[in-house]
Amino acid sequence: MTKKILVTGGDGFIGTYVVKLLSEKYGSDNILSMDNHTTYLDLIPREELTFLLTERQKIVGVPLAYCDINDKKLVKRAFDMFKPTHVIHLAAFPRAKVVDKSPSYASETLVSGLLNILENCSTVEHFVYISSSMVYGDFNHPISENELCNPKGTYGILKLAGEQLVKDWASRMDKNYTILRPSAVYGQLDVKDRVVSKFFEAAMKDEALNVHGAEQLLDFTYVEDLAAGICSTIETHKSFGHTFNMSRGSSRTLLDAAECITKIVGAGRINIQSKHPMYPSRDSLDCSKAYELLDFTPTTEIEVGFLKYYDWLK
């Protein structure tokens, strides 16, 4: 049976690469992107979003269901017309800052919107939910999926709630699900309001790279590695009923990242500051389960991924 895959948030940063890979494998007629081109409460400049959407759509090349995932009528129409066999749910926010700005607004997408999508999945065979490493909260060692989740902040709390809602739906409806937890994703076509993007912008202006906690660790994950991992979940039954960490699987300090970027750009200076109190302390994710069951093989170290990103930024 032909797979027909609906990707919510398909015109987003990660969604663009996922849709591209899926269309290459299954054909563009069998992929539907659902996106509402949100302005994120105008926390991301509109001109930046317009530019990024234009560039992303050059890559995507599949039909678009232009609607908010909370719109019951339009979402139902899209499902009825396309009849997806698989759903990859990426619709969310690019930054925890948007969630912190308006938790009630964020919950409309991260909870109510998710429920609206699930309510239309009665004939869907497999639902893939993209969660976040933020569900773990603070951790100072490589963490596996079996360890306790103790999210710090609204974003992580809502993402963990989404995981529980997906599991409950799958249990009640006797459906297959997969949950993925990525970390610190970066790369071409991303918004500028993220740590790697901010470091590059400062370096390219020969300004200070403000490093909030030199020894703070992040598991920096190149977007194309993650997209390949996401797509692998619908290619094997081994993903059913599992939660997977999905990242590079090796952490680097913020100082490492800043030094790498100043070396690549040949400009900028590093300004060490205290750790930001709002964000959890993290290490790497243990991705051995994804390596074993999904043959997930991320290979891009920051020295390579940052250079690719810089070439695009220029």
- Give the domain extent around 79: 5-183+222-247+286-298
Please report which helix (H) or strand (E) contains residue 190, including its range: none
CATH number at residue 133: 3.40.50.720
pLDDT digit string, tens, across residues 224-245: 999 999 999 999 999 999 999 9
Residue 45: predicted pLDDT: 83
Beta-carbon count within 10 A of 47 CB: 8
Q: With respect to residue 41, please indicate whether it lies within any of the assigned structural domains.
A: yes
Predicted TM-score of the model (pTM): 0.95
Closest CA to 15 of 288, 227, 245: 227
* Helices 13-26 & 223-232 angle (0-180, nearest 10): 50
Total domains present in the chain: 1
pLDDT digit string, tens, across residues 200-217: 999 999 999 999 999 999
Render each residue's pLDDT in the chain as its tens digit; 314 residues. 789 999 999 999 999 999 999 999 999 999 999 999 988 777 778 899 899 999 998 888 899 999 999 999 999 999 999 999 999 999 988 667 778 888 888 898 999 999 999 999 999 999 999 999 999 999 999 999 999 999 998 999 999 999 999 999 999 999 999 999 999 999 999 998 889 999 999 999 999 999 999 999 999 999 999 999 999 999 999 999 999 999 999 999 999 999 999 999 999 999 999 987 777 888 999 999 999 999 999 999 999 999 999 999 99
* Region of residue 213 (left: phi > 0; alpha: psi -120 to 50; beta: else): left
Please report which helix (H) or strand (E) contains residue 246, including its range: strand 242-246
Helical segments of 137-247, H only: 154-173, 195-204, 223-232
Please report which helix (H) or strand (E) contains residue 72, including its range: helix 72-82
Calpha distance 264→55 (Å, rounded): 24
* Region of residue 249 (left: phi > 0; alpha: psi -120 to 50; beta: else): left
Q: With respect to residue 171, please indicate whether it lies within any of the assigned structural domains.
A: yes
Q: With respect to residue 123, please indicate whether it lies within any of the assigned structural domains.
A: yes
pLDDT digit string, tens, across residues 159-179: 999 999 999 999 999 999 999
Q: With respect to residue 314, please indicate whether it lies within any of the assigned structural domains.
A: no
